[in-house]
Homo-oligomer: A and B are copies of this chain.
Amino acid sequence: MSTHVFDEAIALQPQPDGSWLGQTSAAYANMVGPFGGITTAQVLNAVLQHPDRLGEPVSLTVNFCAAVADGAFTLQARPARTNRSTQHWAIEMLQDGQTVVTATAVTAVRRETWGVDEEPMPLCPPPQDVPLPSATAPMAFVQRYEQRAITGNIPSVWDGSGHSSLSQVWVRDNPPRPLDFASLASISDIFFPRVFIRRATHVPVGTVSLTVYFHASAAQLAATGTGYLLGQAQAQAFRNGFFDQSSQLWNEAGVLLVTTHQIVYYKQ
């Protein structure tokens, strides 16, 4: 069995001091440096692989402090507090001794409780009825995801005509790969910067901080398999150089797997 390119990209080598050594992946390159989603998955993987980990991911916040340079990086993941059923992690990614990412995560042993999905999956045509794009952006990471945009696709004409930042898209790994927490973390950052959609204007952007809440259990991820996820994203406010965007990811069965939020720098 050959390894999926995603697994190669998030692979980490344990170091004698308890830290991890990783490498950026050309397959997940963005315009400059790596796609934020793959960095997020690498950060989470330092927790997932940690011998002292308790339970499954519940919450993850990743702060992008500086551009990640192509090449090697070190990840330090420290359990700051371990309780009976929850665990709190402090994580840093370093390059040349400088912090390029700070992060925190919560893992937990989850038990079955009463539950309900209050945010309904929007009514959308099934993935097979939504065409693949006729053209895609040139960044390598875009080729790593099969995306079928239902609404709010990246503008084909940049004429400043946008009026809403809402996007809905079917998405999965390309080639398909059974969903797990690491790939779900990466897909949580798949949504184009909302300022592109809202303004149909190309401006410099960069995610500053990303938070992912995992509602899915490992069993629900296994049940999702290589199926499509329905992603939805929308901004709430654009103001003085920063905007937020909130997103949801459902599986085809309509289970809300993730709710995620980020704040993004923009210029002009």
Using a CB–CB cutoff of 8 Å, the interface residues on chain A facing chain B are 58-59, 61, 63, 65-66, 80-81, 83, 86, 88, 90, 92, 98-100, 102-104, 106, 108, 110-119, 164-165, 198-199, 208-209, 211, 213, 215-217, 234-242, 244, 246, 248, 256, 259, 261, 263, 265-268
Contact of A256 among B98, B110, B118, B236 (CB under 8 A): B236
User: Which 4 pairs from chain A and chain B are nearest by CB?
Assistant: A65-B81, A119-B236, A65-B88, A110-B240
Chain A interface, DSSP helix/strand/loop, else mixed: strand
How far, in angstroms, from A241 to B236 measured CA to CA in the complex?
28
CB-defined A-B contacts under 8 Å, sample of 26: A58-B263, A59-B63, A59-B208, A61-B61, A61-B209, A65-B80, A66-B83, A80-B99, A81-B100, A88-B102, A90-B92, A102-B104, A106-B209, A110-B241, A114-B238, A116-B238, A117-B236, A117-B239, A119-B237, A211-B211, A213-B244, A213-B261, A216-B239, A239-B256, A244-B259, A261-B261
- Chain B residue numbers with a CB within 8 Å of A199 are 114
Please determine whether A90 and B102 come into contact, CB atoms closer than 8 angstroms.
Answer: yes
Contact of A241 among B104, B113, B242 (CB under 8 A): B113
Closest to A217 in B: B240
User: Given A81-B99, A90-B90, A104-B104, do A115 and B239 touch, yes or no (CB 8 Å)?
Assistant: yes
- Chain B residue numbers with a CB within 8 Å of A209 are 58-59, 61, 104, 106, 211
